[in-house]
Amino acid sequence: MEDTIVGISSSLGIGAISIIRMSGKESFEIVNKIFTQNILNVDSHTIHYGHIKENNKLIDEVLVSVMKAPKTYTREDIIEINCHGGIITTNKILELLIKNGARLAEPGEFTKRAFLNGRIDLIEAEAIMDLINSKSESARKLAINGLSGNVTLMIENLRNKISKILSNIEANIDYPEYEDILVMTKELIKKEIIIIEAEINKIIKESENSKIIKNGIDTVILGKPNVGKSSLLNKLIGEEKAIVTNIPGTTRDFVEGTIVIDSVLFNIFDTAGIRETHNKIEQIGVSKSINLINTSDVVILVFDNNRKIQKEDMQLLNLTKDKKRIIVINKIDLESKLDKKLLSGDIVEISALNNNIKPLKDKLIEMFNIDSINKKDPNYLFNTRQISTLKKTLNNILELKKGIKNNLPVDILEIDIMEIWKLLGEIIGKNYNEELVEEIFKNFCLGK
Ligand code: GDP
């Protein structure tokens, strides 16, 4: 972390102001080379008006914020330049700073420094990223909970309980003659560990929706041609404000839109490609669609109320029989010719044409228990990585309980207890491994 890094912190595009951020030992000297004011001896946390110049040519009129370590985002010296918005000016200033000694920051590198310098823990770092990326109110709540320190506090409490057990065991081994130290018998260990296990289980249970909250519910709309899939999609997207119509850079070629129903995100996928075909390109589409069905959280299978059930309908029913599925009978404004007796499960009747799609939305809310997601105690919202590590600790707890049952000596039991303590530390980023940290920070945006 010797070098000074620089990045554009605002989004690149046309806007009134852009922010360029620089962090590291040489930040002040570097900016001083291109700024008309001398900022080397100014007070910390002050803002300075002046001009950025290159070879005496004016580049922009800017405000420079000077923030001295350690009370900064990264705990290093930080400069922030507010320049006029627009890609060309912003990039020009960035280039100048790089020319004068800064290095372009990697995605998330500012936050990574904040973590490595001990200003935030891993949970807070993840929360910052989640907050930036949140696309629904419930996702924002999940993120802010991580940032508030609640998650860290709960893990710290569990770790404290475990370290008390560990230190007692150690004291018993090192000072067997001291009678005033609590003797950690297997019964006592078991009693404590059962309490810890119950708390971990509670967190896992309460957080079971956090994947859904953070990433949204992957929803596939399926049905043979002309049943009204596009009309339904348009109605859904029209009524529930669409956030993005395309997610670039993902392999999800089919994503049609992202909507929010009752503060929960639904990623809607289109499967136009599903039909039996011998055409090569279409076949690729078909296999992708089948993949999509398999990985989705819910399938919306649409039928036409005005037509009899056909072979293709039956095939689609069969293809999705093991999935979480809502059968939608569309076009109820028309005469019913559909043999409803052949359909079973969760069925709703709608008319996409007449704007009558509420029964479908209500069914989605009911199916995913969205009311309860919104009412959940946000203190218990842990993210997927945190939960998967907590699940690993349950394996060690199981081993420990087996060991106690088999009457293993306490110093052998200590190995599992130590492992539980380490895993809990991994969640908050104490005893982290490099690979995990790389993985987390590479998902950040540039300039954060
Ligand atoms: P897709 O091929 O499944 O995407 O079907 P479309 O959405 O393109 O709809 C096919 C036709 O059905 C269009 O002419 C729509 O206007 C019509 N349609 C869709 N929904 C309804 C509905 O609820 N009632 C009626 N009467 N027509 C509908």
> How far apart are the CA of 147 and the centre of ligand 1, in A?
46
What pLDDT, on the 0 to 100 scale, is given for residue 252?
Answer: 37
What pLDDT, on the 0 to 100 scale, is given for residue 254?
Answer: 56
Q: Is 58 exposed, middle or buried (0-12, 13-18, 19+ CB in 10 A)?
A: exposed
Distance CA 250, CA 235 (A): 25
Cα end-to-end distance, the chain, whole Å: 16
- CATH number for 137-212+383-429: choose from 2.30.30.100, 1.20.120.430, 3.40.50.300, 2.60.40.1180: 1.20.120.430
Which phi and psi angles does 30 have, rounded to 5°? Answer: -65, -50
Which phi and psi angles does 242 have, rounded to 5°? Answer: -70, 140
Distance CA 92, CA 109 (A): 21
Please choose from 221, 222, 226 the residue to mutate so as to test ligand 1's pocket, defined by most ligand atoms within 8 A of CB: 226
216-365: CATH number: 3.40.50.300
Smallest Cα–Cα separation from 324: which of 285, 281, 348, 294?
294
> How far apart are the CA of 206 and the centre of ligand 1, in A?
41
Two tokens, residue 309: 């059930």
> How far apart are the CA of 225 and the centre of ligand 1, in A?
9
Distance CA 386, CA 264 (A): 21
Q: How many CB atoms lie within 10 A of CB 17?
A: 13
DSSP state of 341: G
- Domain extents in the chain: 5-120, 137-212+383-429, 216-365
Distance CA 158, CA 427 (A): 12
Smallest Cα–Cα separation from 107: which of 128, 124, 90?
128
Please choose from 231, 270, 349 the residue to mutate so as to test ligand 1's pocket, defined by most ligand atoms within 8 A of CB: 231
H helix runs in 102-207, sequence order:
109-116, 122-133, 137-147, 150-174, 186-206
Q: Nearest residue CA, atom 9 of ligand 1?
A: 228
- 90 and 96 Cβ atoms separated by less than 8 Å: no
What pLDDT, on the 0 to 100 scale, is given for residue 303?
Answer: 96
Two tokens, residue 436: 């995990």
Distance CA 207, CA 196 (A): 17
> How far apart are the CA of 252 and the centre of ligand 1, in A?
25
Residues in contact with ligand 1 (CB, 6 Å cut-off): 223, 225-231, 330-331, 333-334, 351-353
Please choose from 269, 353, 360 the residue to mutate so as to test ligand 1's pocket, defined by most ligand atoms within 8 A of CB: 353
What pLDDT, on the 0 to 100 scale, is given for residue 414?
Answer: 93
- 238 and 315 Cβ atoms separated by less than 8 Å: no
Which amino acid, one-letter code, is at 28?
A: F
What pLDDT, on the 0 to 100 scale, is given for residue 247?
Answer: 36
What pLDDT, on the 0 to 100 scale, is given for residue 280?
Answer: 55
> How far apart are the CA of 304 and the centre of ligand 1, in A?
9
- 263 and 364 Cβ atoms separated by less than 8 Å: no
Q: Tens digit of pLDDT per residue, the chain (448 long)?
A: 689 999 999 987 788 999 999 999 999 999 999 999 999 999 999 999 999 999 999 999 999 999 999 999 999 999 999 999 888 999 999 999 999 999 999 989 999 999 999 999 998 998 898 888 888 888 888 888 888 888 899 999 999 999 999 988 888 888 777 777 777 788 899 999 999 999 999 888 888 777 788 888 999 999 988 898 888 888 888 765 434 333 333 333 455 678 888 888 898 887 754 555 555 555 555 667 788 888 899 999 999 999 999 998 999 999 999 999 999 999 999 999 999 999 999 999 999 999 899 999 999 999 988 877 777 666 777 887 888 899 999 999 999 999 999 999 998 999 999 999 999 999 998 877 777 778 778 777 777 8
- 274 and 286 Cβ atoms separated by less than 8 Å: yes
> How far apart are the CA of 345 and the centre of ligand 1, in A?
23
Task: Name the architecture of domain 5-120.
Answer: 2-Layer Sandwich (3.30)
- Residue carrying the six token digits 């330049």: 81
Q: Give the number of C-alpha atoms closer than 13 A to the C-alpha of residue 443, restricted to the C-beta side.
A: 13
Which phi and psi angles does 46 have, rounded to 5°? Answer: -125, 155
Q: Nearest residue CA, atom 10 of ligand 1?
A: 226
- 379 and 358 Cβ atoms separated by less than 8 Å: no
Q: Nearest residue CA, atom 17 of ligand 1?
A: 228
- 294 and 271 Cβ atoms separated by less than 8 Å: no
Helix (H, G, I), strand (E, B) or coil at 337: coil
What pLDDT, on the 0 to 100 scale, is given for residue 298?
Answer: 95
Ligand 1 atom having least distance to the Cα of 350: 23
> How far apart are the CA of 279 and the centre of ligand 1, in A?
26
Distance CA 318, CA 290 (A): 12
- Residue carrying the six token digits 């040489």: 26
Please report, for residues 99, 120, 295, the alpha-carbon distance to residue 361 in angstroms, rounded to integers and kept in the order given: 55, 40, 21
